[in-house]
Amino acid sequence: MPSLPSRFGPAVVTALTMLAVAAPLVLAQDSRAQEARVPSSTGEIRLSYAPVVKRVASSVVNVYAARIVENRHPLMDDPVFRRFFGGRPQEQVQRSLGSGVIVDPSGLIMTNNHVVENMDQVKVSLADKREFEAEIVLKDARSDLAVLRLKDVTEKFPAIAIGDSDTLQVGDLVLAIGNPFGVGQTVTHGIVSAVARTQIGITDYQFFIQTDAAINPGNSGGALVDLSGRLVGINTAIFSRSGGSQGIGFAIPVNMVRVVIASAQGGSNVVRRPWLGAKLQAVTAEISEAFGLKRPAGALVGTVAKKSPAERAGLRTGDLIVAIDGVEVDDPNAFDYRFAMKAMGGQAQIGVLRSGREIRVAVPLESVPDGPRDERLIRSRSPFAGARVANLSPALADELRLDVTLQGVAIIEVQDGSTARGLGFRKGDLVLAVNGEAIGSSGDLERIAGQQQRVWRITIQRDGQPISVVFGG
C-alpha cells in the first residue's frame, strides 16, 4: 500500500485487490454526453438507476487468481544449515480476488494487473454464476492493467460499451460495480470528484478519475460507468485510513484502457507506446514566474537523450512543454498520460515556451530502443542475494522511470524474503560501485557478488541521489 504525499497525513492509497466484479464491455461508438442539468422536481430525484445497472451488470465478472509458492527460509541456501537442521520448503497457495469487465464479445476481459500479477491460475465467474478458466494474454504493469481471455469458448459474451473519459466533468454522476469484501455484486453511485488526479503514486501514468462512489477492497478491476451505461474507468484504488471506503476512490480513465485493449485485440502481449527521450520535471512557482506564467503549469525539460525523438525534434533542456496536440498539460504526469496514448507512427505536435515565445515541435512517435539487458539473478552470499539485475538500456530506463541519459546496472526485481530485500534494496536502484570497483555491467556485479568479503561498501543511485552504505565489518 503506497503512502500518499505527506500533506495527506497517515492515510494510504490502497489497491483494491480482494474480491471484485467487473462490468462487461461492448466496443461501441461514443455518443454525445447527455445534457447536464439539475433535477427540477422531486419526481426526477426518485428516478432509478436500475435500467443502467440491468444493461451493464452482466458484463462485470469476478476474477479468481492463485499460485503455489514455497515458504522457504533464506538460511536453507546455506549447505551447513541444511545439513544440521534439514527440512524441506513448505508449499502454500497465494490467492488474489478481484473484478473484471468484458470488453469484447469473444471473451476478452479487462482487469487490474495487480489482481493477476505473478499468478499461475486464473478463473472467471460470470454474473450468471458460470465459471471459466482464463489465460493472461497481456499484462501492463505501467498502467496496472491486464487482459484475460476465457479459454475454450465459442459463444458471444455481453461486452460493455466504452465511453470517452475526456468528456467527463466534475459533478457527473457515475456508478461503480464490483464485489467489495466478497459479499457479491454490488452497485454504488456517486459523482466525479476530479478528472485528472496526479501525484497518487499507484502507477507510472499518474492521471486518475476520482470519485466518491463507495468502492472497497474487492473492487479492483471493476467498472466505473456513466448513466448511459458506458465504461469510463477501471476502479483501482482507494484513499483510506481504515482500509474501507471514505469517499475517495481512483479509477484508470477508459481512454488509457482503450490502448491496452487495442494491443490485446491486435495479438500483442505487450503495449507499445511512443518514447519521448527527455526527462521532465514539475514547474515550481519560481520557474512559473521566470516564464511569465500566471500559475505553475506545464512540464520543464530537464535532460534530453542523444539520438532520441525529443532531440531530433529540436526539444531542448530548459524548454517548457505546455500542450500536446492542442491539449494543455498541467504537469509532467499529465503530459506522460497524453503522450502514452498516442498511436505509434506519425508525429505529436508539442507546444513549447522558449525564450519568451510559444513554438511547436513535431516529435516522431516511435518506440524506445532496447539493448542487451543480460538479466541475472544474484544467488551468491552477498548483500545482493535475491536481486535480479540488468544492464540499463533506454527501454529499461523508461520502464523504471529513470533518467534516460544514465548508464549502469539496475535492480529490476527484489525477491521476497531475500537478503537484498532485508537490507532495503529496491526495484529501480542503480548500482554504481561495490568495494571501490565501478559496476559497468550485470556480469561485473555478479562476479563481485560472488567474492568472499567481510565488509561490503556499496554505492547506489536512488531517486537521482547517490547513496553509500556499508554492510558487515
For residue 70, give the C-alpha cell: 514455497
Helix (H) or strand (E) run with residue 330 in it: none
State the Cα–Cα distance between residues 179 and 183, nearest whole angstrom. 6
Q: Say if residue 114 carries a ligand binding annotation.
A: yes
Would you mind telling me the total number of residues written for the chain in this entry?
A: 473
Output the CA–CA distances (angstroms, integers) from residue 365 to 276, 292, 320, 322, 401, in the order listed: 8, 30, 20, 18, 19
At 134, list the grid cell: 482464463
Residue 166 marked in a binding site: no
Cβ atoms of 21 and 62 closer than 8 Å: yes
Are the C-beta atoms of 57 and 187 separated by less than 8 Å? yes
Half-sphere exposure in the Cβ direction for 286 (13 Å, CA): 0
Taking the C-alpha atoms of residue 402 and residue 460, their distance in angstroms, rounded to an integer, is 13
Catalytic hit among 99, 114, 226, 240: 114
Measure the N-to-C terminal CA separation of the chain; round to a whole number of Å: 34
* Assigned C-alpha cell, 168: 467527463
Among 224, 169, 311, residue whose Cα is nearest residue 20: 224
Identified catalytic residue from 144, 212, 429, 444: 144
Q: Which is catalytic among the residues 59, 96, 193, 220?
A: 220
How far apart, in Å, are the Cα atoms of 432 and each of 81, 91, 173, 221? 33, 37, 51, 39
Grid cell listed for 169:
466533468
Q: Which long-range contacts (CB under 8 A, 24 or more apart) does 126-135 make?
A: 126/58, 126/61, 126/157, 127/21, 127/57, 127/58, 127/59, 127/60, 127/61, 127/185, 128/58, 132/107, 134/63, 134/109
Q: What is the Cβ-side half-sphere exposure of residue 464, based on CA atoms within 13 angstroms?
A: 8
416 is catalytic: no
The answer on whether 219 is annotated among ligand-binding residues is: yes
Residue 401 Ramachandran class (φ > 0 left, ψ -120 to 50 alpha, else beta)? left
Is 73 annotated among the ligand-binding residues? no
Q: Catalytic residue at 31?
A: no
189 is catalytic: no
- Catalytic positions, please? 114, 144, 220
Binding site residue list: 114, 144, 218-220
Binding site residue list for substrate: 114, 144, 218-220
